[in-house]
Amino acid sequence: MSMLAEQHSKPMPEPVFGSEQAQSLMRQRSRLRFYEVVVWLAAVIAIFVLPSKMLILTEIAILALFAVSLDLVLGFAGIVSLGHTAFFGVGAYVAGLVARHYYAEPVVGLIVAGLASGLLGYATSFLILRGSDLTRLMTTLGIALMLAEAANQLGWLTGGADGLSGFSLGPILGMFEFDLWGRNGYIYCLVVLFISTMIARRIAFSPFGLSLKAIKANPVRAAMVGVPARRRIILVYTIAAIMAGFAGALLTQTTSFVSPDVLAFHRSADVLLVLVIGGTGYLYGGIFGAIAFTLLRDWLSVVTPQYWMFWIGLLLIILVLVGRNRLSDWISFLPERLSRLKGMKP
């Protein structure tokens, strides 16, 4: 008894990796990396260097925000979705309805649109908690298709197939008006993209983000060690829905028009393709993928207007079969190999 009491009275040994070390590591991982600073500086410099490309830069910013929102649930929580456009479309329509009937200030419409999409995300998150990836694919796709048909049939509210138009937006924060060149619109979208990405980044490099990766790797084991998987999935799905609603609202506000196309299946397919090109699980894949996809699509549509989708599909197949790392190795290897072959010629 005395030996047992003596053992219990001894202090527990310090863990090899304590809480202070863990917090230090988390702080180091959460610091901005060099390439991130370059990305945001390049986006700001583009305002002055590319004044004639504001419209396509705005499109890239909106698509990047949409992709970042999907990366939160796909790259970190492992939730595959074919209906992420549902939140994009709800945000787009709510922003248009707010501007047309209630308040024309863009930031207010943006916030309301995000909240509406977040509410839809929370309501539908319970449907993806059970089942396999195939079940989630069909469930999310079904939600998006239902909303697309509702937008098409409720003409008195959404304008039907003709879309919702006839509304104008006031100055951003009452100070910055949307100009014909799209400069203020691009700055507005860039600011929303930056704030949303920083929030998503903070989530990713927090204990919450680490728990999401644990759920993605093995949900059963994560639940056994005390990770509340259901609550984590519901929360991240709702946050991603809010960000997707922001992207849809930005599209409506920068074009002053919204139609059932915002709920079309091809938008979900495009944003998945963006993440395939840019990569998942580190947020900036959505930004890099949006840049590559938009520029490649515009270039191919000029070079081969009728077959540009063929080349996009071929790139997707190569990326899936070969892999991004191997493809980059081949790109660096082929020129070197060709130069050696030329040097061997007599």
Q: What was the pLDDT predicted at 328?
A: 47
Q: What angle do CA 237, 242, 123 make, to 5 degrees?
A: 55
Q: What was the pLDDT predicted at 102?
A: 85
Q: What was the pLDDT predicted at 63?
A: 95
Q: What was the pLDDT predicted at 71?
A: 92
Q: What was the pLDDT predicted at 21?
A: 62
Q: Among candidates 289, 271, 287, which has minimal Cα distance to 61?
A: 287
Cα–Cα distance measured from residue 147 to residue 124, given in angstroms and rounded to the nearest whole number: 13
Enumerate the H helices of the chain as residue ranges: 2-9, 19-30, 34-49, 54-71, 85-101, 106-125, 133-153, 155-158, 183-204, 207-217, 219-224, 229-255, 265-278, 284-303, 308-322, 324-344
Cα–Cα distance measured from residue 23 to residue 194, given in angstroms and rounded to the nearest whole number: 25
Q: What was the pLDDT predicted at 280?
A: 85
Q: What was the pLDDT predicted at 327?
A: 46
Q: What angle do CA 249, 302, 328 make, to 5 degrees?
A: 80
Q: What was the pLDDT predicted at 24?
A: 66
Q: Are 74 and 280 in contact (CB under 8 A)?
A: yes
Q: Give pLDDT < 70 ranges for the chain.
A: 1-30, 131, 322-346
Q: Are 289 and 276 in contact (CB under 8 A)?
A: yes
Measured from the Cβ of residue 207, the count of other Cβ atoms closer than 10 Å reads 10
Q: Are 275 and 289 in contact (CB under 8 A)?
A: yes
Which residue has tokens 């138009």? 165
Q: What was the pLDDT predicted at 336?
A: 52
Cα–Cα distance measured from residue 121 to residue 111, given in angstroms and rounded to the nearest whole number: 15
Structure tokens, 119: 């509410």
Structure tokens, 36: 């991130």
35-303: which CATH architecture? Orthogonal Bundle (1.10)
The predicted-structure confidence for 155-174, as pLDDT tens digits, reads as follows 888 888 888 887 888 888 87
> 248 CB contacts (<8 Å, ≥6 apart)?
66, 87, 88, 89, 90, 91, 92, 93, 95, 113, 117, 262
Report DSSP letters for 216-234, one per residue: HH-HHHHHHTT--HHHHHH
The domains of the chain are located at: 35-303, 309-341
> 54 CB contacts (<8 Å, ≥6 apart)?
47, 181, 182, 183, 185, 186
> 291 CB contacts (<8 Å, ≥6 apart)?
60, 64
Q: 248 to each of 6, 90, 208, 213, 301, how far by Cα in Å?
A: 65, 7, 26, 27, 24
The predicted-structure confidence for 3-41, as pLDDT tens digits, reads as follows 434 444 444 444 444 456 656 666 666 677 888 899 999
Cα–Cα distance measured from residue 3 to residue 283, given in angstroms and rounded to the nearest whole number: 55
Residue 122 Rama label (left phi>0; alpha psi -120 to 50; beta): alpha
